[in-house]
Structure 1
Amino acid sequence: MKKKFLALLIFCLVLSCSKDEDLTLPTTVDPDGSADVEVQDFMWKAMNFWYFWQENVDDLADDRFTNTTEGRAEYTAFLDSENSPAAFFVNKLQYIEDRFSFYNDDYRELTNSLAGISKSNGLEYGLVRFQDSEELFGVVRYVVPNSNAATTSIKRGDLFTGVDGQTLTLSNYQQLLFTGNDTYTLNMAEFVNGSISPTDEEVELTKEEALAENPILISKSFEIGGANIGYIMYNQFTNEYDDQLYSAIQALKSAGITSLVMDLRYNPGGSVNTTRLLASMIYDTNTSNIFLRKRYNDKLQEQFNDSQLEVYFTDKIDGTTINSLGLDKLYVLTSASSASASELLINSLEPYMDVIQIGDVTRGKNEFSTTLVDDRDNSYLYTPSRVNKINPDNQWAIQPLIGRNENAEGFFDYTSGLQPDIFLKEDYGNLGILGDQNEPLLARAIQEITSETGKRDFTVHNPIDIIGSSKMTNPMNNKMIDDTVYDQ
C-alpha cells in the first residue's frame, strides 16, 4: 500500500483553509555564514514552527533573535554553541519533559523504519535486571520469520546472560547489543529451580540490512466453550501492511468470530492512520464518529478550525469499502512495551465500546510526531515525492513531537500509562507459546470471554520488568506518526 505521511495531511489542511488564509510561518533570522551551522539552522527553524512545546523552550521563542547584524551574529554563535547537531538538538531545543523526540543523520534510514524496514537479526527480546544487581538477562519474545535468527535454534522463552563472553550489565548492554559488531554470539542460560544459570550453549546472530518485518505475526481463531474467538498478534502499526491487516480481519469475519483479542504487548506504535483504519475495521465505519482530536502548539492551533483538527472513523481502505466486524467489546493484551499508537487504539475506542485491557501498564505516550527534513519550501515536511528538493548538503532528519491526540471525550492524560482492567505480567519461567490458547495472557482473555473460571492458576512467580528491548534503538520505537489523511 502506498505510504501516507503527515505532509499529505498538512497539505489537506492548508488547502482547506479559507481562501485568503494559509499556514503562516514566522519571520526568522538567517545565520551570517561564518560557521558550518546549516544543520542546526534547519533544526531551529523547523522546531520553532512545529514543536509542540515551542513556547516552553526559551531559545525557540519567535523573538529570541532579531533580524539585525547583531542578531544574526548572536544567532550564528548560538547555532555553533555545541560540538555537533545531535548535541545542539538535545541540549538547546528539546524540552526537558520531552521523552520521545529524536533525530537521525540520514532521513532515509528513518523513513525506512516507518515502513518496517531495519537492520536486524530478527531476534526480538526484552532485557530484565537481576534483582539487586547491575547484571541483566535477555528473554526471547519471538523470532521474525525469514530472518537470520530464524535459521538458528533460538526460540521464544530462551534466556541469555552474555554477549561474546561478556556478562550483560547496565553499563555495557547497549554497546554489546546495539552499537557493536553486526555479528555477535549470545551466551545462553536456563531457568532451573527458580534460578537463571549460564549454560555452554552459544548462538551466533548477524544483523541484515533492510529486514522487513510483517507486523501481523499471528492471526487465527478458536472455538472454545461455545465462543468463536479471533486472535491477532500485531507488532507495529506499519502502513505498508494495511492491506494485509484488513485481509486478516476479513478472514476472521469469514470464520464467524464473535470476540477479538488484539495482542499489542510488543507493539511500540507507528502510524496514526493505520490505527484509525484498524479501529474502523473492529468497531464501525460511521464517518460521523470522531476518532481523535489534534492539539498543536498555540501558533499552529489558531490557524486551524475544529473540522480540520478532528479525525473521524473511516469507511474505506485504499479505496475499498471496509466491511467492519461491528464488535461492541474488544480484548487487548498489553505490556510495558505497548506504546503510542497501541495506546491510541485503546483510548480512541473507549468512548464507543468496552475495551478490556489485560496485561501490564502501557508505556504512556500520547503525543504524535512527524519527520522533518531540510526542504524549506515545503515547511520542512518530509514528502516522498519531494526527496529531490531536500538540501543535498543536509541529509539530517528530526522527528519532534508536534501535537497531542485526544479521544472523542477529550481524554488524553495517560503519560503514566494505561492501567489494565486485568493485571497480569508475563512470567519468564512460563512464557508459553504465542497464539496457543494456553499461553497465559491469551488464556486469561479467553477465560474472560467464555466466563469459564476453571482451575487455571494465573499466579506470576517470575514477573518480567523490562528495562529495554531489542526495539529500543529502532527509530520508530515509542513513536506515533501522524500520517492521517482525509477520505476525499
Structure 2
Amino acid sequence: MKKVLYFFSIILFISCSKDEPFSIPGTVSPNPDADVDVQDFMWKAMNYWYFWQNQVPDLADDRFVNTPEGIEAYTNFLSSEENPADFFDNRLLFEEDRFSFYNEDYRVLTQSLSGISRSNGLEFGLVRFQSGQNLFGYVRYIVPGSNAATKDIQRGELFSGVDGQTLNLDNYIQLLFGENNDYTLNMAEFVDGALAPSDKEVSLTKEEALSENPVFISKSFLINGENIGYLMYNQFTNEYDDDLYTAIENLKTAGITNLIIDLRYNPGGSVNTTRLLASMIYDTNTDNLFLRKRYNDKLQPEFSKERLEVYFADKVGNREINSLNLSKVYVLTSASSASASELLINSLEPYMDVIQIGDVTRGKNEFSTTLVDDRDNSYLYTPSRINHINPNVQWAIQPLLGRNENAEGFSDFTNGLIPDIQLKEDLQNLGILGDQNEPLLARAIQEITGSTGKRDFTVKRPANIMSSSKLFSPLSDRMIDDTHY
C-alpha cells in the first residue's frame, strides 16, 4: 500500500437508492418573523449531512429544543451572522475543514461543477520567488479553442506581473482570478539565475462558459519493442465520457501493452468517470469493489450496502467497455493532482501494480455533495426537482460528507500520495507535453523499457508551486460522486 502525505477533499453527487427521500429528524423552526431562511436551511442540512457534525457543538442534535425558549435561542443563533456566508464559515464548519463551500445561487454552483467556467484558457502554476513575497507564473498548457490559444504564448513561458503590477501574495488572487475580464501579463525570464522582466506582454480575455475537453493528449509509442499508450487527462468531467471511451478504444486498437496516465494537472471531478476509467484500465468485473463510502456516525447505519458500495463498471452508457486488462499502470502526478485523481490511484491499488511517478499529490480524501433547500428531498440537489427548491432560498452549500475507502479499507491520504519515483517538473526543462523526451513521460518510458541510457533527470529548478490556475477552477479539489445505484 502506498504511503501518503497531504490533504484532499472530494465532491459527491448523491443519487438515492430509494424512491422516497431519507427521513430528516424533526428540528426546531425559527421565529417566522425573522429573516433567517437561508441560515435555517444551512443549519438543518449541515446537522444531518455534515461529516464532522458530532464535532461541532452548535450542530448537535440536542443543541436547540422545540419550546418557546428553544425557538428564541435558535432564532438568535441564526441571526448571529446577518450574512449567510459568514454564518456558514464562522458558525457551522469544523476547524479542520478547508474545503466545504457555498454559493448564493445554486444554478451558478451546479453549472461550475459541470466544468463550465469563465476563463481565458491559460493554465499556469504560481511559484514564490526565493521564498519572498513576490510570485511568478509559468505556463503549463493552453486550452484549445480558448482566447489564450489565439495569443503568442506557450508552455514554459514565465510572467512576473499583471497590468504593470508585480505579482505577490497579497494581490495575485485579485489580479489573476478576480472579476476583471481582461488583463495583460508582463512576461519574464531567468537571467543568470535571477528573474528579470522582458519586453513581452500578452493580453488575455476571460470568456463565459469555456468548457475544456479533458482528453488533452492520447497517443502511442513503439519503443524498444514496447507498445506504450499515453493519455494526458486533465479533469474527470462526465460530459466527456464518450471522448474518454474513444481514446481508450483507440489505444486498445493500437495494441498497447503498457499505459501511462498523466494526471499531473488533474484537480479531480466525477467519481463515476473515475470508476469508468478504472474499469477501462483494469477489468469490467462488476463484483469487484471500487470504493466504499463512510458518512458521519449518525448516517452510516442508516444506509444500505447498495448505497455505500460502488463497483467496477462494464459499460459506458450503452456501450460495452473493452478493458485493456492491464496488471500494471504508470501514473504521472504533481502537487496539483487531487481528489478523483487520487481516487483512481487508491482504488486501483488493491487490484494492480500502480507505479506513481512525479510529485506528492495534493491529499484530499473527503467527498461532498450539493445541498439546496428542498426539504422533501433531504436537501439533495436533484435537477428534476428544481421547482421544489424553496423560492426564498436560492443558496446552495457543498459540505464535506464523508470519505471513500478502497477495497482494502484504506482512505487515509490526507497528506497526499507519495510517488514510487519522485520527479518534480523542472522550470528550466518543462519539455513538450506528449513528446517522449518530456522529462516525466521519458522517466515512465525508461521504467517500462528498462533502458537507462544516458538520460539525466536532475531537476535544476523544481516547480515548487504554491498555487495554480487549476486551484481556482470549478472542479479543483472536487470528487463528484455521480454514481447511480
Common fold by TM > 0.5: yes
Q: Deviations over 1:388-419 (max 9, x none)?
A: 22222222111111110000001111100000
**For 1:372, what is the secondary structure of its paired residue?**
coil
How many Å separate the matches in 1 of 2:390 and 2:21?
A: 24
The corresponding residue for 1:401 is: 400
1:430-449 equivalences under 5 Å are: 430-449=429-448
C-alpha contact (below 8 Å) 2:12/2:271 kept by paired residues: no
| Larger displacement relative to structure 2 (437-446 or 372-381) | 372-381
The corresponding residue for 2:107 is: 108
**For 2:130, what is the secondary structure of its paired residue?**
coil
The corresponding residue for 2:8 is: none
C-alpha contact (below 8 Å) 1:162/1:168 kept by paired residues: yes
How many Å separate the matches in 2 of 1:474 and 1:6?
A: 18
1:68-467 equivalences under 5 Å are: 68-467=67-466
**For 2:299, what is the secondary structure of its paired residue?**
helix
The corresponding residue for 1:35 is: 34
1:33 shift after superposition: 2.3
**For 1:64, what is the secondary structure of its paired residue?**
coil
How many Å separate the matches in 1 of 2:146 and 2:72?
A: 52
**For 1:373, what is the secondary structure of its paired residue?**
coil
In structure 1, the gaps of 5 or more residues are 16-20
How many Å separate the matches in 2 of 1:325 and 1:194?
A: 46
**For 1:260, what is the secondary structure of its paired residue?**
strand
Distance of aligned partners of 1:374 and 1:23 in 2 relative to their CA distance in 1, 3 Å threshold = closer
- Identity fraction in percent: 73
How many Å separate the matches in 2 of 1:151 and 1:172?
A: 27
Question: What TM-score results when the alignment is normalised by the length of structure 2?
Answer: 0.96
1:6 alignment partner AA: F
| Larger displacement relative to structure 2 (171-180 or 435-444) | 171-180
1:470 shift after superposition: 0.9
How many Å separate the matches in 2 of 1:76 and 1:154?
A: 55
Q: Deviations over 1:74-127 (max 9, x none)?
A: 111111111311111111111111121111112122211222110000000011
Question: What TM-score results when the alignment is normalised by the length of structure 1?
Answer: 0.95
1:133 shift after superposition: 1.1
How many Å separate the matches in 2 of 1:236 and 1:61?
A: 37
**For 2:185, what is the secondary structure of its paired residue?**
strand
The corresponding residue for 1:6 is: 13
Distance of aligned partners of 1:180 and 1:112 in 2 relative to their CA distance in 1, 3 Å threshold = closer
**For 2:350, what is the secondary structure of its paired residue?**
coil
1:191 shift after superposition: 2.3
In structure 2, the gaps of 5 or more residues are 1-10
Count of aligned positions: 475
2:219 alignment partner AA: K
2:31 alignment partner AA: D
Q: Deviations over 1:282-307 (max 9, x none)?
A: 00000111101110011110112334
2:483 alignment partner AA: T
The corresponding residue for 2:6 is: none
How many Å separate the matches in 1 of 2:34 and 2:472?
A: 31
C-alpha contact (below 8 Å) 1:50/1:297 kept by paired residues: yes
How many Å separate the matches in 2 of 1:114 and 1:221?
A: 31
| Larger displacement relative to structure 2 (156-165 or 26-35) | 26-35
**For 1:476, what is the secondary structure of its paired residue?**
coil
C-alpha contact (below 8 Å) 2:21/2:377 kept by paired residues: no
How many Å separate the matches in 2 of 1:223 and 1:116?
A: 34
The corresponding residue for 2:45 is: 46
**For 1:119, what is the secondary structure of its paired residue?**
strand
How many Å separate the matches in 1 of 2:89 and 2:222?
A: 52
**For 2:410, what is the secondary structure of its paired residue?**
coil
How many Å separate the matches in 2 of 1:100 and 1:312?
A: 26
**For 2:302, what is the secondary structure of its paired residue?**
coil
How many Å separate the matches in 2 of 1:389 and 1:346?
A: 38
2:46 alignment partner AA: M
The corresponding residue for 1:18 is: none
Q: Deviations over 1:45-77 (max 9, x none)?
A: 111111111111111111111111111111111
**For 2:442, what is the secondary structure of its paired residue?**
helix
**For 2:201, what is the secondary structure of its paired residue?**
strand
| Larger displacement relative to structure 2 (327-336 or 195-204) | 195-204
The corresponding residue for 2:65 is: 66
1:180 shift after superposition: 4.3
C-alpha contact (below 8 Å) 2:333/2:356 kept by paired residues: yes
Tell me how large the CA RMSD over aligned residues is.
1.4
C-alpha contact (below 8 Å) 2:121/2:149 kept by paired residues: yes
**For 2:471, what is the secondary structure of its paired residue?**
coil
**For 2:472, what is the secondary structure of its paired residue?**
coil
Q: Deviations over 1:311-356 (max 9, x none)?
A: 1101111122111010000100000000010000000000000000
How many Å separate the matches in 2 of 1:128 and 1:144?
A: 21
C-alpha contact (below 8 Å) 1:116/1:214 kept by paired residues: no
C-alpha contact (below 8 Å) 1:5/1:383 kept by paired residues: no
How many Å separate the matches in 2 of 1:456 and 1:433?
A: 16
Question: RCO (CA 8 Å, sep 6+): is it higher in 1 or 2?
Answer: 2
